Amino acid sequence: MNRRASGTAAVIAVAALALAGCAGGDGAGGDGAPIVVGSVNTISGPATFPEASQAAAAVFDAFNEEGGLDGRTIEYKMLDDKGDPATATASAREIVGSDEAVALVGSASLIECEINAKYYEQEGILSVPGIGVDTGCFDSENISPANVGPFNDMTLTLQYGSEVLGLDDICILLEIAGSTRPTYQAAIDRWTEITGKEPKYVDDTVPYGASDYTPYIVKARDQGCKALAINPVEPDAIGQVKAANAQGWDDVTWLYLTSVYSENFADAIDDAGAGIYVPAEFYPFTDDSDINADWRALMEENDIPLTSFSQGGYLAATYFIEVLKSIDGDITRESVSEALKGMDPIENPMVGTPYAFGTQNTAGWPIVLKSGTNAWEKVADDWLRIGE
């Protein structure tokens, strides 16, 4: 992911707003009319990630240029929720109610899953986010992201640290906002169930966007921590590593999430301690491999940044088109939902878990950033999977 946001970005807990909008829309129109698909995204504000929906749009544009679905094109609408609950609510109702979309595809928002899940259930519409962030993306029957998500990513990074690196005395620092604390605890408990290991120390008071992380780093060092598993957004991670550098703590191992996986982060870090390890949610985009060739070519053609975000949006749209082609008959919200829920798993080498709606991705590809290298490297020849 890039510097603007992460799969662990803040989730804003809000009361459910009154449901509104037209029910029963199908986004089909007449024969030959465009097939309406939408997405709700955090595109503006202090933490943004527009690449997912941009990548999905590029996939749909290429599909349309090739003739679409028997001549029918996809009309893709991307709305910005600005990280604001009221705007996220209104955006969903515009796409689902007014525009009568058949599905949501490629979304990437700090908050919208948790806010809009009940509305999607009421309207009988499904969502395939490119990047799922908040808890609501992973506990609704109507939402199924293309990515691993921050919670499974936490289990994976802990599992890699204890079982592959053989680390003891792992401490966990959590940046908590909204309702994510129980879900992160469940991710930690899952690691414990798999490995029999427990964290040496847990601090869930670490703030987002702190000007100085020195107090939290010093406290962890004084607790005897040898490794730190943390769920920050990228700027916070840079501050945490630099705080350890300033304290001369140069033998700590960092177990981060995909939220810090970017070239910008690598360029900002000189001293990575004993190494910064991440279980990348998709096949590492910094690796020059044929696995990412089609995605990379499409992103470069459309001037879209090469990030994990754009990988997620690309995959979500690719999955959706394959399901769309399988529908025999009218393309309506009902037929699309039925096809998604009954789809056969789709395998893609960019991910370690075949995608099927309602099945969570549980695989990451271990990568490392070493001191003085300013470059991410693969440290495995295959996917790391939860429980394996």
Backbone angles phi, psi at 13, to 5 degrees: -80, 125
AA letter at 210: A
Secondary-structure percent of the chain, ordered helix, strand, coil, rounded to 5: 35, 15, 45
AA letter at 99: D
User: For strand 363-369 and strand 376-378, is the pairing parallel, antiparallel, or unpaired?
Assistant: antiparallel
User: Is residue 232 packed enough to be buried (19+ CB in 10 Å), middle (13-18) or exposed (0-12)?
Assistant: buried
Q: Which are the contacts of 338, defined by CB distance < 8 A and separation ≥ 6?
A: none
In which band, very low, low, confident or very high, does the pLDDT at 52 lie, cut at 50, 70 and 90?
Answer: very high
AA letter at 327: I
Backbone angles phi, psi at 64, to 5 degrees: -65, -40
Q: Which are the contacts of 218, defined by CB distance < 8 A and separation ≥ 6?
A: 247
Whole-number Å distance between alpha carbons of 306 and 303? 9
pTM tops 0.85, yes or no: yes
pLDDT tens for residues 61-96? 999 999 999 999 999 999 999 989 999 999 999 999
Q: Quick one: pLDDT at residue 20?
A: 33
DSSP notation for 243-264: HHHHTT--SPEEE--GGG-SHH
DSSP notation for 166-200: ---SEEEEEE--TT-HHHHHHHHHHHHHHHS---S
Q: Which are the contacts of 12, defined by CB distance < 8 A and separation ≥ 6?
A: 83, 85, 110, 111, 177, 178
> What are the residue ranges spanned by the domains of the chain?
35-148+289-341, 150-280+363-385
CATH of domain 150-280+363-385: 3.40.50.2300
Mean pLDDT of 195-219: 95
Same topology, domains 35-148+289-341 and 150-280+363-385? Answer is yes
Residue 124, both tokens: 């009988």
Distance (Å) of CA 275 to CA 26, 35, 255, 266, 308: 51, 47, 9, 12, 21
Q: Could you tell me if 203 and 223 are in contact, meaning their C-beta atoms sit under 8 angstroms apart?
A: no
Q: Quick one: pLDDT at residue 215?
A: 97
- The answer to whether residue 22 scores a pLDDT higher than 60 is no
| DSSP summary character for residue 26 | -
- The answer to whether residue 27 scores a pLDDT higher than 60 is no
Q: Quick one: pLDDT at residue 6?
A: 39
Window from 26-40, 64-78, 177-191, 273-287 with minimum mean pLDDT = 26-40
Residue 370, both tokens: 């070493």
- The answer to whether residue 5 scores a pLDDT higher than 90 is no
CATH of domain 35-148+289-341: 3.40.50.2300
Whole-number Å distance between alpha carbons of 6 and 148? 12
- The answer to whether residue 13 scores a pLDDT higher than 80 is no
Residue 142, both tokens: 């109507």
Distance (Å) of CA 183 to CA 24, 111, 155, 283: 33, 15, 11, 25
- Within 13 Å, how many C-alpha atoms sit on residue 369's CB side? 32
Q: Mean pLDDT score of the chain, rounded to an integer?
A: 91
Q: Quick one: pLDDT at residue 45?
A: 79
